[in-house]
Structure 1
């Protein structure tokens, strides 16, 4: 029995590790394709991009782990069925359910590890990833001097380049406007060509200008009344001009500004936030009643009226008044209605925002548990599917696993969005995919235990051939 357990574990660990790395690599490539324009051409150090990719890989575990469990289990049991090893196990008197015990233990431990990862490590990875991505996206482009554009990348300067060589180092038709202390363009430098390079440590950008002229306006010496300014012109064969790159370096935002987001909190913090906001919402409802109460008017009626009381509608009440009293009553009523609407409008918007935050943070609470449950539910689907189709490798198992994972992902996404919008309960919306897939997994497990030919193509061919012959006869 121990040898069979060891065989199953060895058959599962290898495809699980390989599929996990493949899925993580595919998701990482999707991340690079999405943010390639925000990362390339901004002068980032290689370790900054590597750090961002590492944090993104950690955030992709929530999607990669269930898919890897599904794909690896289909490959494991499909390979065992293809090599008739499952037949040998059943011939030895061991049922499929009993042969799945070591796999169930491994996937259960993996699900527990996924829960602790989503509760302790994932919030930290999300904090590092989103804060670094935010700083990287707002970083200015490293294409400091684009062609035919007046660039303001350097403080106090406006630079225009007519054309550049393909390597981007040699420039032609250079025009530099330098602003004075009073923010006027008093100095202009024009050069026929030049080259640019960065100093060590990327502290300065140096322009070596050739064949140019510099125009500068300044006040005359010892002038008590600056009626006319002095224009100076300097011609040069070669000169250099430095521009500081301090304003173009990656500046990091304080990570504490991102800690209030739901993705950056663990289970304890999420529950505390939901409870505190719910208490605040309940208190605001009581406060709303206290604010509206002074605008309500109550009329006392005798317990036993001498005259039979006939309820009068609004028009009848107004007709019983004088014209001046009608105007006063209507203006007073409309004023009170406007006051109540003004009071409740802002409080209603705040109430809607608070309830939306409660649903969003409550959904994150449930998401901590749905990751572990998804691994178990997809394992219940993958193991019997592999035993039924009896195909290993990366062919048919990949197609089937992608189909079932898309079903899981679409249902969970719809449920999550509906829960956050308030259309359905948060608990039901976050668990609806598990509720749908678990009966499917149990049904497939029953079919695999009874040696069902549900995925036998030849069986369906024979059925349709018989059906066609009956119709033809």
Structure 2
């Protein structure tokens, strides 16, 4: 049995590693395609890009690992079924459960490792990814000039170039707007030709212009509609422009550390409790304020000091209908108008606060969903194995053909259900437990059924059986029998 277990483990670990890196590569390329515009033209060093890809890869493990387990288990048992190895094992009296036993133990350890990764490593990777992506987005792009198009990549300048000689680097028909004074288009330079050369330290741009004019509008401090202007004609004009530099400025990670994706289980619990306590206090204060301002009215000091008037007021307030009936028509209209005004203000305050509280509850719900997500990853790994292993034994097809199609189909169904249920949970339609576990609860019975079918050697995917069944229930034959 030790040799058999070793053979099964080797047959599974190879496809698992191969499919895991394939899934990681596909997901990583999808992520880069989404954020490719943030990297182009920024002059980032390869170490920064490699660091970012490393952190992003860590955040993609929850999607890649379950899919890799599903694909590897289908491939492993499909290969053994195609090569009649499963049949030989069953002929020797070894059941499918005993064949799956070493892999079940391995999947348990993988699931425990996935939980540790999700709770301890992925929050750190998410924090690093968010911080570094924020810094990359803020990074100023390198100056890239295109013919006939205004370029604003040079800080405080807007540059348009007519033609660029790619051999000499000489630019022709330049139009430059200087916005360093933040006064609008009051400083314009027109030149026949020129060059722009960046210094070795990339901190200075050496601008040399030939045969042109500088048009400057001088704004006065007093409010005068007419502004004097001047024109400066030059044959050669040289100027050094300071550049912000291409060194990536790192942001303090404390700015993002309180986000729900950057916390472990204990931190999520603490943050959720704190936010819930703040929300409850806010609701209690609003209720008291609403009752004090729009429901109960305070007595005036003169009535409160006069015990006789105070007693009369108390007696009258006990019977509001009789008190209102004794009012004159004018007083009744005034009271009704006053009450309606109070009611409208109360309704406006309640409507406004309802929107605020709904937004706060949705924010708290994200922490609750993230808490459940820590457990859904290892459970998904466990479920997908019990779907893939019996499915491979039933299909009996190895390689990357049928297993890939079936795996992607099951994973897409699981992913759509998961994303839809999570969205319902965020919108307060479903409870967090149902929102985060619904996909697993739907897929779990499928794994149980497939395991049972594979154990009993049921031909679930045998098309000939379904064809024979359809022939038996042919409506033409049934119609002929009735007429006969």
Residues 42 and 143 in structure 1, CA contact (< 8 A), matched pair in contact too? no
Residues 213 and 233 in structure 1, CA contact (< 8 A), matched pair in contact too? yes
CA offsets 1:199-234 (integer angstroms, 9 cap, x no match): 22322233444x423547799xxxxxxx98875533
Residues 186 and 217 in structure 1, CA contact (< 8 A), matched pair in contact too? yes
Distance in 1 separating the partners of 2:441 and 2:371: 18
Does structure 1 residue 265 correspond to structure 2 residue 263?
A: yes
Deviation at 1:163, TM superposition (A): 2.7
Distance in 2 separating the partners of 1:106 and 1:372: 12
Q: Which residue of 2 aligns with 1:428?
A: 434
**Unpaired runs of at least 5, structure 1:** 220-226
Residues 154 and 244 in structure 1, CA contact (< 8 A), matched pair in contact too? no
**Gap change, CA 1:233 and 1:82, over 3 Å in 2:** same
Residues 192 and 212 in structure 2, CA contact (< 8 A), matched pair in contact too? no
Distance in 1 separating the partners of 2:427 and 2:16: 36
Deviation at 1:254, TM superposition (A): 2.4
Distance in 2 separating the partners of 1:171 and 1:235: 15
Residues 111 and 379 in structure 2, CA contact (< 8 A), matched pair in contact too? yes
1:125-164 aligned within 5 A: 125-164=125-164
Deviation at 1:439, TM superposition (A): 0.9
Deviation at 1:186, TM superposition (A): 7.3
Q: Which residue of 1 aligns with 2:423?
A: 417
Distance in 2 separating the partners of 1:6 and 1:49: 40
Q: How many residues of Structure 1 are paired with residues of Structure 2 in the alignment? A: 454
Q: Which residue of 2 aligns with 1:445?
A: 451
Instruction: Give the alignment's TM-score, normalised by structure 1.
Output: 0.86
Instruction: Give the alignment's TM-score, normalised by structure 2.
Output: 0.84
Secondary structure at 2:337's aligned position in 1? helix
Deviation at 1:152, TM superposition (A): 4.4
Deviation at 1:374, TM superposition (A): 0.4
Residues 180 and 186 in structure 1, CA contact (< 8 A), matched pair in contact too? no
Residues 52 and 129 in structure 2, CA contact (< 8 A), matched pair in contact too? yes
Distance in 2 separating the partners of 1:370 and 1:214: 68
Aligned partner (choices 350, 354, 377) of residue 360 of structure 2: 354
Distance in 2 separating the partners of 1:347 and 1:375: 42
CA offsets 1:44-66 (integer angstroms, 9 cap, x no match): 22222222222221111110011
**Gap change, CA 1:289 and 1:240, over 3 Å in 2:** closer
1:57-456 aligned within 5 A: 57-165=57-165, 169-178=169-178, 183=183, 189-209=189-209, 211-215=210-214, 232-236=232-236, 240-246=238-244, 250-294=248-292, 295-297=294-296, 321-341=327-347, 343-456=349-462
**Unpaired runs of at least 5, structure 2:** 219-226, 298-312
Secondary structure at 2:235's aligned position in 1? strand
Secondary structure at 2:458's aligned position in 1? coil
Range moving further from structure 2, 276-285 or 24-33:
276-285
Deviation at 1:94, TM superposition (A): 1.2
Distance in 2 separating the partners of 1:277 and 1:92: 61
Secondary structure at 1:128's aligned position in 2? helix
Distance in 2 separating the partners of 1:381 and 1:126: 30
Distance in 2 separating the partners of 1:382 and 1:301: 79
Q: Which residue of 2 aligns with 1:34?
A: 34
**Gap change, CA 1:334 and 1:393, over 3 Å in 2:** same
Residues 169 and 197 in structure 1, CA contact (< 8 A), matched pair in contact too? no
Distance in 2 separating the partners of 1:231 and 1:440: 81
**Gap change, CA 1:113 and 1:231, over 3 Å in 2:** same
What is the RMSD computed on CA atoms of the aligned residues?
Answer: 3.2
Deviation at 1:178, TM superposition (A): 4.4
Deviation at 1:257, TM superposition (A): 1.3
Distance in 2 separating the partners of 1:15 and 1:182: 61
Distance in 1 separating the partners of 2:346 and 2:168: 65
Deviation at 1:467, TM superposition (A): 4.9
Residues 188 and 216 in structure 2, CA contact (< 8 A), matched pair in contact too? no
Deviation at 1:146, TM superposition (A): 4.0
